[in-house]
A and B are shown apart, each in its own frame.
Chain A
Amino acid sequence: MGRLSYIGRRLIKGLFVLLAIVVLNFFLIRAAPGDPAQVMAGEAGAADEMFIEQLRERFGLDRPLHEQLFIYVKGIVTLDLGWSYRQNQSVASLIWQRLPATLLLTGTAFCIALLCGILMGALAAARVGKWTDTLITALALVFYATPLFWIALMAILLFSVYLGWLPGFGMVTVGAGHSGLAYIGDIAAHLVLPAVTLGLFYMAVYARMTRASMLEVMEMDYVKTAKAKGVAPGRITRRHVLRNALLPVITLAGIQAGQMIGGAVLTETVFAWPGIGRLMFDALLQRDYNLLLGIFFVSSAMVVLFNLITDLVYTFVDPRIEVA
């Protein structure tokens, strides 16, 4: 019961954050230069007088500010995120269609980053000072410093154009008409480059964090106790060092998972991956602010969700958290 109420409290906090974001969105629209109705209509819709009138109606743009805010919040709560003139669809349905692709991409990238990052960091810490450590640390530094969009382009150039090993465009091969297992395989092939490039930066982050955390834990008194008991070194590393060193890494990973959505914008744009990141780029090109803010809201909601999941996972992993 304790855990449930702990999560419940966190959930309420999260909802407050979402509410604050909604209010932020509201004020951002009004802060943009020009008439809010035109801003919301976007470049394409601004030309259509009737559409602008509809918007004024729908959002009560002639009414006082607090009433507008109420209408807006009510809309969000009923999952009405507005209408995209250019795409001729409701923002909510657009996002709904594209969300799975992004989740697939970021999910895969996250797993790759976390697993490889932890492995690399642990290896570097175990062989600290030797050339393995220097190599891993150097690689991590370079990946950390590399702009995501550029390495994506270079990866396409190398693996797709010159070597022809992997596709660098889209999620499926256009016009191939695969189904069943072949379909999954096709998606998987298209997934490799984008997921790996998106994961590289975070892999570096997790590797560094794991290494630093492990080095710190290795100096702890309880590690000395384990040695004094005659426990074998491998067991010490697994049972005592890793389990404690990974606690801060898990927290960090959870927080970063949400931020990965930002990276997805760049990756999906370069790889033409049909997710909400790509959608955001399109919204930018079309000056479709409603769509833009809708995506912004949804990605923030995802972050809140991931933070919640991280908190939950953490309560299982660290016995010191008092959930009662």
Chain B
Amino acid sequence: MAAQEALLRVEGLSVRLPSGADRALAVEEVSFELRRGEILCIVGESGSGKSITANTIMGLLPRPYVEPVAGRILFEGRDLLREPEPALRALRGSRIGMIFQEPMTALNPVLRIGEQIAEVFDAHGRLSKKGRRERVRDLLASVGLPDPDNLGDSYPFRLSGGQRQRVMIAMALALEPAILIADEPTTALDVTTQAQILDLIKHLQRERDMGVMFITHDFGVVAEIADRVAVMQFGKIVETGTARQVLNDPQHDYTRRLVGSVPAFEPPPERPRVEGEPILKVEGLQKTYITARGLFTKGRRVSAARDVSFEIRRGETLGLVGESGSGKSTVGRCIVRLLDADGGAIRFREEVDLNSLSGRKLAPYRRHVQMVFQDPYASLNPRRKVGRIIAEGPMAHGASWKEAMARARELLALVRLDPSAAERYPHEFSGGQRQRIGIARALALDPELLVADEPVSALDVSVQAQVLDLLEEIKQRLKLAMLFITHDLRVAAQICDRVAVMQQGQIVEYGDTRRVFAEPQHAYTRSLLAAVPGKEWKIPEVARQAAQKQKESIA
């Protein structure tokens, strides 16, 4: 295939951060090119500098705090770093389009959608008013939005996240730019919506022969759409190449470790069957929310969980899988009794129905069912020392300060942190370390069932792997039962023995992980599995080994 012309060429770009940041340069000596008719994926973990690179190209940096200090960005014969602002403004939206990560906040809430799209034409002085109206209609149709004739008169709050992202794409492509920069546009979307948007971008890119610079942290997405890949770490590009090269034969050690940490889509073949009586049996769980209730208004009923039933044994991990709004978090919260289920039973060890207990009667049973939370930055009290945070559980159940603190130190060692961490504050730790502290806290009461609510969703992929390994090891050692709530099917494939798929509050499929993945029965499960990006891609062995070596070095 003949090399296509380069639309955009970045040469030796360096961008500095304000003093006090964790490194001097956000982006260091970065060089790459974006060619016509290709999708270039820039991959990296958080803090790798990929977003700042994108923002620099568009000239959207918060100057003077973050400033480019070296390099050139060549586009259509000009160096974007040396062009005056009015010239850059003429390029934005007309020659280079950009879409962002958070569709829910990316549109002005008080302006109609049609007005916001028409604004692109207005800003560049194109078309008459009538012409704009027609073009808006066409654009809305071209991104697959329903009712394009009238949608332009709606306000953003009427649209879902996926729909808003389509509007963003319409706005970015309205003037047929040569380049589209997409900064993590699907990260905040559900897996099925993500698949649709990725398809849309691929389709539009091919149709218009554009160059697309797609920023992501998800290698599955890379496998799905990338033609070429550039991997960033700590502000530098460590590897570039075609997608085939980087995904199947990564050269750089960091790339290998990163790729190796991605959970495979195929569930492992050998999973020993877990025997024994179920320790938790959920029967017909119901939970309904009534929103926006006032003195005179009735409010809307939302059924978060309907007739949910499953069981878990000690030593086994049951995955509760679904998209946002599926009710999986609600079920998790009902089980740890953060919420009161409206109906159904939560039978613990055949002895008692947890749902029927509350207050004082519930207190002694709390210790048996504990939870690990999703957000490592919000799940620890910022004003408490770590040791105290872990010790609070045992103390609430009668342990003395000394006993509880000793246990806290024990647990810190168990989760592979130094026991001296007990004297420090949460903000001194990284996201992965905070999650370990959260796990230690959950284990402090010697629970028999651990509910993990998206425990790794907020972590970078390399850290994810470590925390998942830790959870697996602890589960084996302590013979815990684990309810693992996640939206990430790859993670579910790797660590769940059995899996329950939820859709709109109901369990639509329930069974052995391997069987569900190989032979999904329900239509929703099939569409969910089909939507996982890069599912055909097999993670290369050399990457697996590199990741394994890193995990062992930390242990």
Chain A residues engaging chain B, CB cutoff 8 angstroms: 9, 12-13, 220-222, 224-232, 235, 239-240, 243-244, 247, 317-320
Contact = CB atoms under 8 A, between A and B. Distances in A.
Nearest to B89: A230
Contact of A225 (B89, B90, B107): B107
Interface residues of B, number: 30
A280 B171 CA distance: 59
A225 B155 contact: no
A229 B122 CA distance: 10
A222 B92 contact: no
B60 A9 contact: no
Contacts of A229: 92-93, 119-120, 123, 171
B254 interface: no
A227 B110 CA distance: 17
Contacts of A222: 105-109
Nearest to B154: A319
B106 A232 contact: no
Given A229-B171, A230-B120, A221 B92 contact: no
Given A9-B296, A320-B109, A227 B120 contact: no
Interface in B139-180: 155, 157, 168, 171-172
25 contacts: A13-B295, A222-B108, A225-B100, A225-B106, A225-B108, A225-B171, A226-B119, A227-B60, A228-B58, A228-B60, A228-B92, A228-B93, A228-B97, A228-B100, A229-B92, A230-B90, A230-B91, A230-B92, A230-B93, A230-B124, A232-B123, A244-B109, A247-B110, A317-B110, A318-B110
Interface in B289-346: 295-296
Given A319-B155, A320-B155, A231 B106 contact: no
Point out which of A226, A228, A232 has the most chain B C-beta atoms below 10 A from its C-beta. Answer: A228
B119 A231 contact: yes
Given A230-B89, A235-B123, A224 B111 contact: no
Interface of B: 58, 60, 89-94, 97-98, 100, 102, 105-111, 119-120, 123-124, 155, 157, 168, 171-172, 295-296
A319 B171 contact: no
B110 A244 contact: yes
Given A228-B98, A229-B123, A231-B123, 20 more contacts: A9-B296, A12-B296, A222-B107, A224-B60, A224-B100, A225-B106, A225-B168, A228-B92, A228-B100, A229-B92, A230-B92, A230-B93, A230-B120, A230-B124, A231-B93, A232-B123, A240-B108, A319-B110, A320-B110, A320-B157
Prevailing SS type, chain A contact patch: helix
B166 to A, nearest CB: 14
Contacts of A320: 109-110, 155, 157
Contacts of A9: 296
A98 B90 CA distance: 60
A221 B100 contact: yes
Contacts of A224: 60, 100, 106
Nearest to A317: B110
A178 B172 CA distance: 65
A319 B109 contact: yes
A319 B111 CA distance: 8
A21 B386 CA distance: 51
A200 to B, nearest CB: 31
A243 B110 contact: yes
A236 to B, nearest CB: 10
Nearest to A12: B296
A200 B89 CA distance: 40
Contact of A220 (B105, B155, B171): B105
A231 B155 CA distance: 20
Contacts of B123: 229-232, 235
Nearest to A229: B93
A227 B59 CA distance: 9
A240 B90 CA distance: 19
A195 to B, nearest CB: 32
Contacts of A318: 110
Nearest to A318: B110
B214 to A, nearest CB: 16
Contacts of B171: 225, 229
Contacts of B108: 222, 225-226, 239-240, 243-244
Point out which of A229, A231, A235, A247 has the most chain B C-beta atoms below 10 A from its C-beta. Answer: A229
Contacts of B100: 221, 224-225, 228
A274 to B, nearest CB: 41
Nearest to B90: A230
A52 to B, nearest CB: 43
